[in-house]
Structure 1
Amino acid sequence: MSEPEQQAAIQPEIIQALIAVRDRAYTPYSQHPVGAMVISESGTRYTGANVEVAHYKGLCAEASALAAMASAGERRLREVYVIGPGEHLCTPCGDCRQRIREFASPETLIRVVDADGKLLRRYHMDDLLPDSFGPENLGRDSAMAD
């Protein structure tokens, strides 16, 4: 993907929201703030930041955004954005990949941007979590059951 295509793929208001939510992260231990935005099937945007606590069992940004989406009653993801504090890839951790998978379809796009909002890489769910285990492996689609 060329530079113009990368930048055109992300709306400026999405970049602004990602930077703003990342800058509100609570990371006194790692000093590694992360922000996330999930866009539901309805087009509604939900943001979240990582929140650390003293016993080191914090909440990831993606989990925070997904919790907001689920709390609003939405169950399907169209897109996910993740922003970290630097120029390097800050992809979802293993736990968050599974959380995203719960609400994703094969078409769900996951975009990882650098600290300034420049697209570093984009994935589909199967790229991040190949041969994954999901609701259909339990004989029902729990994400659709509400």
Structure 2
Amino acid sequence: MPQHVTVVDYDPSWQQRFREERDRLCGALGEATLAIWHIGSTSVPGLAAKPVVDVLVAARSLGEVDAVEPRMRELGYECLGEFGISGRRYFRKGGDERTHQVHVFDAGDRKNIVRHLALCDYLRSHEDARDEYAALKRSLARRFPYDIEGYCDGKDRFVRALEARALACYDDSWDRLYLAARRVQRPREISPLVEAGSVAAALLTEAGSVYVGVCIDTACSLGMCAERSAIAAMVTAGESRIRRIVAVMPGGGAGMPCGACRELMMQLDPAAREVEVLLDYESRRTARLGELVPGWWADARMVPEA
């Protein structure tokens, strides 16, 4: 039987369905997973949608994803390879009454990852576009109730134009930094006395460069935080002005730089108070470094001489 195309009012439970599926996918994909996002219409509050949860996954490598296909089948997914999009791994479950779709790209595939994130972000913040898209989908669902290709073709031009507008105003620098840190984050034992990689950091300079680093933990006081590792790479390359920085903790969440890292950043640059520190990746909550180091002891000494 052909897939039934139905568009319904937004359902807040879609968010919970995503969170539950994200946990299952993390278990199946394991270390291949660097980030998982809820995308598509069910991720946009207030938007009418087909009740299918779309999931976007950034992977360490597609080879690692291919290796765990049996685990995806155990979760009830069909493994369909690229399925028309180069560089993608596409999984779906639910048969003709589909419930979930998973789109996996290599974490370095910024084009495909960012276009999905930008479109969702745009729809969440532009009510007119959201309403226009909902009306189009309802109309197409009535016209093509058992023709998913006709439904998708009917909204293709609108979505492409919407995506172009979304990309024009989307700032992907936090995504870029988060994924850069996650790509180098892998706990490992260097020797019986040294471990590394459980925490990773990435920073963006005023010149637009990205530098990464991982923590180095030792049996004495010779270790180094991930943030300072990234800063050392930046200084080695001849730069010293940080614009944004993120530290990623072992569970994948953003973490607060320690006092020593904050102090080093403050000492590097008279404008360091304006450095943005990511506190939560999912909500994009940030703080200025100056807010995290109030009443800094050397403020007067950093003022350039007249």
Q: Encode CA deviations 1:7-32: one digit per residue, 9 max, x unaligned.
A: x7655443321111222566877898
Residue 73 of structure 1 and its aligned partner are, at CA, apart by 0.8
Partner of 1:95: 260
RMSD: 3.4
Partner of 1:128: 292
| Paired residues for 1:76-95 under 5 Å | 76-86=241-251, 90-95=255-260
1:64 and 1:129 mapped to 2: Cα distance? 20
Relative to structure 1, is the Cα distance of residues 72 and 88 closer, same or farther in structure 2, using a 3 angstrom cutoff?
closer
Aligned residues: 135
Q: Partner letter of residue 102 of structure 1? A: Q
Residue 75 of structure 1 and its aligned partner are, at CA, apart by 1.5
Answer 1 or 2: which has greater helix percent: 2
Relative to structure 1, is the Cα distance of residues 100 and 85 closer, same or farther in structure 2, using a 3 angstrom cutoff?
same
Given that residues 177 and 203 in structure 2 are in contact (C-alpha distance below 8 angstroms), is that contact kept between their aligned partners in structure 1?
no
Relative to structure 1, is the Cα distance of residues 18 and 32 closer, same or farther in structure 2, using a 3 angstrom cutoff?
closer
Q: Encode CA deviations 1:18-68: one digit per residue, 9 max, x unaligned.
A: 111222566877898111111111010000000112224310000000000
Residue 82 of structure 1 and its aligned partner are, at CA, apart by 1.1
2:255 and 2:175 mapped to 1: Cα distance? 20
Instruction: Pick the aligned partner of 1:66 from 231, 242, 265.
Output: 231
1:23 aligned onto 2:186: yes
Relative to structure 1, is the Cα distance of residues 50 and 83 closer, same or farther in structure 2, using a 3 angstrom cutoff?
same
1:109 aligned onto 2:276: yes
Structure 2 residue runs of 5 or longer lacking an equivalent are: 1-120, 125-170
Relative to structure 1, is the Cα distance of residues 45 and 54 closer, same or farther in structure 2, using a 3 angstrom cutoff?
same
1:20 and 1:42 mapped to 2: Cα distance? 22
Partner of 1:144: none
Structure (1 or 2) with the larger CA radius of gyration? 2
Partner of 2:282: 118
2:194 and 2:202 mapped to 1: Cα distance? 23
Instruction: Pick the aligned partner of 1:36 from 201, 212, 224.
Output: 201
Same amino acid, percent of matched pairs: 26
Relative to structure 1, is the Cα distance of residues 74 and 86 closer, same or farther in structure 2, using a 3 angstrom cutoff?
same
2:295 and 2:206 mapped to 1: Cα distance? 23
Relative to structure 1, is the Cα distance of residues 39 and 137 closer, same or farther in structure 2, using a 3 angstrom cutoff?
same
Q: Partner letter of residue 75 of structure 1? A: S
Given that residues 111 and 119 in structure 1 are in contact (C-alpha distance below 8 angstroms), is that contact kept between their aligned partners in structure 2?
no
Q: Encode CA deviations 1:106-125: one digit per residue, 9 max, x unaligned.
A: 32101134xxx535631101
Q: Secondary structure at 1:96's aligned position in 2?
A: helix
Relative to structure 1, is the Cα distance of residues 135 and 48 closer, same or farther in structure 2, using a 3 angstrom cutoff?
farther
Structure 1 residue runs of 5 or longer lacking an equivalent are: 142-146
